[in-house]
Amino acid sequence: MYGRGLRPLSLATAAAFTVALGLVFFYAPLEADQGFVQKIFYVHVPLAIVSLCGFVLGGLLAIQHLRTRDSRWDMRSYVAIHMSLILGVGTLITGSIWAKASWGHWWVWDEPTLVSFLIVFLLYATYQPLRFSIEDPERQSRYASVFAIAAGAFVPLNFAAVRMSTGYVHPRVLGDTSNLPGPMALTFLVSLLAMALLYATLCKYEMTAKHARGQVRALRRKLSGEVPAQGRSAAPRLSGPPALSGTPAPSAPAPLSPRPAGATATGSTTPAVGRPGG
Amino acid sequence: MSTGSATHPPSTPPTIRVHPRPPGVAAVVLALLRKEFLVELRTLESVPGMALFAVSTFVVFHFALDATSVSGKEASGVLWVTLLFAAMLGVNRLFVADAEQGGFDAFLLAPVDRSALLIAKALALLAYLVVFELVAVPAFGLLLLEPSLGQSMPDLLAVLALADIGIAVIGTLVAALAVQTRARDLLGPLLALPLLVPIVIGAAKASAPLLAITGAGGSPTRWLLGLALYDLVFGLIAYAVFDFLLED
Amino acid sequence: MTVLVMSDSASLTPALQLEDLERHYGERVALSDVSLSLPAGQTLVVFGPNGAGKTTLLRVLATLLRPHAGKVRLLGKELPREGWAVRGRIGLLGHAPLLYRELSAEENLRFHARLHGVGELRVAEVLKAVGMEGRSGEPVKMLSRGMLQRVAVARAVLHEPEVLLLDEPYANLDPAAREQVTGLIGAGSGCTRVVCSHDPSGGVAEADVVLGLREGRQVMLKLARDVREGDIAGLYR
């Protein structure tokens, strides 16, 4: 079920990227001040936006996990944050390149968006170590969700705080689509769409892979009757006997299976052992 | 038949039990705080360490900056870096006794509201911060700060109070997250520092003019408001998610 | 203000009912398919080698761990959903004494008394009952293991629980001390009890129902009077 739709999604992503790159190189006009280097804008900003949205999305999925106690939500939250972290690395690298090209420094502190992004990135960089150092998988997923919720709320707060601290040093011509000339805005929006599709595809791939791995493990366990040794991991697992903690039992409780001899014994005055009261 | 909770002899099976009404949140918070301070007074593990650390850090700053005194922005930076890192020591120790000596289980077995633990721990951490700053801030004034602390004290107290509340709330949440992990001493600060950046921004900006030589006057209200808002929002977040850190 | 609860009223419905209880740690099964019921006031003794799931069972019953599947009803309340309703009516005596090492026995018990809304008089009463009134002012880290266990017993019964969950309660106790705490946590306490034990003869003697666990599974469930010699030893083989 996880693999369904993967192919059309991948194709759509490839198509969107082709269109976006075509627009970036052949349609969007050269920016007057910065020239060709400004084109990195069409990669950097969509990367940053998608990555930040992914962090917040991870928090929302984590809320769902804590509410339902269904480990699939934890998996989704994990994948959302994991992929956002990867895009986040891309954001920092492209941002650095852009800063070097236009201001001559690899890093500029008076660009609040970049600085806030770094802080958010540093916070989320502890997500995996946090998961990794909690051994009980159930506690791991619960704590990770608490982290994801707090951190997800932190993302906008932090942006507001950093923005407040730096003031408006640089006129932010490029930060806002409404200020962009038409062709640039169109190119930017198509690039953003392509990046969002890429994010969705990557997430789907990771979830499919995790799900398949879990199923293979479950099958292997069924066949051999033993649990293959598995190292500790920061990633949640979908396999495992606690199918989904907290979800209702698959069906009405089966009639009580035969117990070992003496299982019907009880205290002298009460109904049979194992018979539920109701 | 015995009816009093304190009277029936333990050997006879009681037929009627008198159930005390579960204590309210305030009573539980008080009980937890009392226990917390008692343990801290016995062990002196948090506050003296924090204060000593802060003073040592001022000495280190003196040599590292190669400066006999600091003022303005620089002073504000030195002060807040020191207070923040010293606070991390307290954050790291906050739940250790409970995790290692069964305090969590004992608390979870009681018929009480679990948010009481968050409130009590945050208040305890706040108290530790205040007490340690009673040493650290005068020491800073004495050792490093060029202008005298006197006239800017009321404003500085407001900044310290708002920042301390934020550190206490975030520190408690992070400490509860980190204490059950294997790398608790490492993860605590790693989690806390980014979350505390907005506090540092607000506190440093607000206290820089207070520590300037010119004695330029009051700190901009917007920073105080920003700090208060951040405290409030994170307080609500911590309140919403804290329960999930307690169950097993 | 106090609320009167007739503990006898529970005798119609069993004090403890388990139905296909399951609990895992990741992929490791700690408990599975445990089903039984225990009338109020009776004692269930649990046998099984180390790692059989005894401690997990106690922690599930104490509302400290959630069951992953199956049903648990304790004092008529369903766990974990209605855990709040039974908390405070359970006394847990596990391996850890749940006492702060730096605080004295009396300070620890006062703390627990406040958490449970129990009066201070009761603290002195239980300390006397376990014979620790003489050394109640020392930090518990100074106490010997036997004395620590006695304070832990006092802590477990401080709030007059209806259900006692005991994990090898007589460990580290000399015969005299054992005698002393029996009134509080023994069969005569009037509580519904779940006791984990490694002592075949003593365990069966105080049991009404005996449960044998092995690798988390229920391999034996008998009335104590039906337990034959070798039944318990067979569990450990």
Give the closest-approach CA distance of B198 to chain A in angstroms. 6
Report if residue B135 sits inside a domain: yes
The more confidently predicted of residues C26 and C168 is C168
Contact state of B240 with A149 under an 8 Å Cβ cutoff: yes
Round the CA-based radius of gyration of chain C to a whole number and report it.
18
What is the chain B residue with the closest CA to C191? Answer: B13
For chain B, the domain total comes to: 1
| Contact between chains at C35 and A270 (C-beta distance less than 8 A) | no
Residue B169 lies in a domain: yes
**Average pLDDT of the residues in C219-237:** 83
- Give the gap in angstroms from C-alpha C174 to the nearest C-alpha of chain B: 20
For residue A267, the model assigns a pLDDT of: 37
In this model, does residue A256 exceed pLDDT 60? no
Which residue in chain A is spatially nearest to B241 when comparing CA positions? A146
Residue C45 and residue C204 in contact, taking contact as beta carbons nearer than 8 Å: yes
In the structure encoding, which two tokens stand for residue A125, read together? 């960089």
CB contact under 8 Å between A133 and B198, yes or no, is no
Q: For the range C145-148, what are the long-range contacts, defined as Cβ-Cβ under 8 Å and sequence gap of 24 or more?
A: C145/C172, C146/C172, C146/C173, C146/C174, C146/C177, C148/C97, C148/C99, C148/C172
Confidence of residue A142 (pLDDT cuts 50, 70, 90): very high
Residues 23-82 of A with CB under 8 A from B: 66
Closest CA of chain A from B120, distance in Å: 20
- Which residues of chain A are within 8 Å of residue B182 when distances are taken between CB atoms? 133-135
pLDDT tens per residue across span A80-139? 999 999 999 999 999 888 888 888 888 888 777 888 899 999 999 999 999 999 988 888
B19 Rama sector, left if φ>0, alpha if ψ -120 to 50, beta otherwise: beta
CA distance A128 to A133: 9
Nearest CA in chain A to C71: A276
pLDDT at B34: 94
What is the structure's pLDDT at C85? 85
Residue B20 lies inside a defined structural domain of this protein = no
Q: Min CA distance, A206 vs chain C (Å)? A: 21
Contact A277 C39 (CB under 8 A): no
CB atoms within 10 A of CB A255: 6
Ranked by mean pLDDT, which of A248-262, C96-110, C211-225 comes out on top? Answer: C96-110
Say whether B248 and A139 touch across the interface (CB within 8 A): yes
Task: Name the DSSP class of A24.
Answer: I
- pLDDT reported for residue B7: 38
Structure tokens, C211: 């449960």
Question: With 80 as the cut, is the pLDDT of residue A194 above it?
Answer: yes
Judge contact between B78 and B70, C-beta under 8 A: yes
Question: How distant is the Cα of A70 from the closest Cα of chain B, in angstroms?
Answer: 14
What pLDDT score does A268 carry?
36
The distance of Cα C48 from the centroid of its chain, to the nearest Å, equals: 16
Which are the contacts of C18, defined by CB distance < 8 A and separation ≥ 6? C34, C35, C36, C37, C70, C71, C72, C73
One pLDDT digit (tens) per residue for chain B, 248 residues: 333 343 334 444 444 455 667 888 999 999 999 999 999 999 998 999 999 999 999 999 999 998 888 888 889 999 999 999 999 999 999 999 999 998 899 999 999 999 999 999 999 999 999 999 999 999 998 988 888 887 788 888 999 999 999 999 999 999 999 998 988 889 999 999 999 999 998 898 888 888 887 755 566 788 888 899 999 999 999 999 999 998 76
For B144, the token pair is 């490093």
* Domain with B104 in it: 32-245
Q: Which residues of B touch A129 (CB under 8 A)?
A: 183, 186-187, 190
Instruction: Flag whether B24 is in a domain.
Output: no
Statement: residue A260 has pLDDT above 60: no
pLDDT of residue C12: 57
CA dist B153 and A197 (Å) reads 55
The chains in contact with chain C, meaning 3 or more Cβ pairs closer than 8 Å, are A, B
pLDDT digits (tens, 9 = 90+) for C63-88: 998 898 899 999 988 888 888 888 88
Query: For residue B13, what pLDDT is reported?
Result: 44
Most B CBs within 10 A among A116, A121, A146, A158, hence the mutation to make, goes to: A146
Interface touch B10/C121, C-beta < 8 Å: no
Domain ranges of chain A: 7-205
Nearest to C94 by CA among C55, C51, C147, C44: C55
Which amino acid makes up residue A266?
A: T
Counted across chains A and B, CB pairs separated by less than 8 A come out at: 81
Contacts of A273 in chain C (CB under 8 A): 35-37, 209, 221
**Percent residues over pLDDT 70 in chain C:** 95
Average pLDDT over residues C7-12: 46
Q: Which stretches within A171-256 are classed as H helix?
A: 182-224
DSSP B15-57: SEEEEEPPPPHHHHHHHHHHHHHHHHHHH--SHHHHHHHHHHH
Mean pLDDT of C163-187: 88
Beta-ladder partners of C21: C34
Kindly determine whether residue B182 and residue A133, on different chains, have CB atoms separated by under 8 Å: yes
**What predicted TM-score, i.e. pTM, was given to this entire model?**
0.85
Nearest to B204 by CA among B77, B57, B88: B77
A32 pLDDT exceeds 60? yes
Quick: pLDDT tens for C32-74: 889 999 998 899 999 988 888 889 999 999 999 889 889 999 9
User: Which of B1, B224, B24, B32 has its CA nearest to residue B118?
Assistant: B32
Distance CA A157, CA A142 (A): 23
The verdict on a CB contact (< 8 Å) between C59 and B248 is yes
- Using the beta-carbon criterion (under 8 Å), do A130 and B181 form an inter-chain contact? yes
Is residue B205 in a domain?
yes
**DSSP state string for C105-137:** HHHHHHHHHHHHT--HHHHHHHHHHTT-GGGTT
- pLDDT attached to residue A243: 39
Whether cis (ω within 30° of 0) applies to the bond prior to C80 is yes
In this complex, the residue of A135, A149, A161 whose CB is nearest that of residue B241 is: A149
Q: Which chains neighbour B (Cβ–Cβ under 8 Å, 3 or more pairs)?
A: A, C
For residue B138, give Cα distances in angstroms to B54, B79, B145, B175: 11, 11, 10, 28
Using a CB–CB cutoff of 8 Å, tell me whether A249 touches chain B: no
